[in-house]
Amino acid sequence: MMDRFVDLLRHGEPEGGGRFRGGSEDPLSPAGLAQMQAAVAVSGDGAPPWDLVVTSPTRRCAAFAEALSLGRGLPLEVWPDLGERGWGDWEGRAADQIPAADLSRFWADPVGYTPHGAEPFAAFRERGLRAWDALLAHPARHPLVVTHGGVLRVVLGAVLDMPPAALILIEVPYACITRLRLPEGGRPSLMVHGPAAGIS
Q: What percentage of the chain exceeds 70 in pLDDT?
A: 94
CB atoms within 10 A of CB 50: 22
pLDDT of residue 22: 83
Q: What is the topology classification, in CATH, of domain 4-199?
A: Rossmann fold (3.40.50)
pLDDT of residue 196: 65
pTM above the 0.75 mark? yes
Calculate the alpha carbon distances from 135 to 19, 47, 52, 78, 186 in Å. 28, 17, 11, 12, 15
Residue range 84-109, pLDDT digits in tens: 999 999 988 988 899 999 999 999 99
Give 78-137 as a DSSP string: E-GGGSPPP-GGGTT--GGGS-HHHHHHHHH-TTT---TTPPPHHHHHHHHHHHHHHHHH
The structural domains of the chain, with segments of one domain joined by +, span 4-199
Low-confidence ranges of the chain (pLDDT < 50): 46-47, 198-200
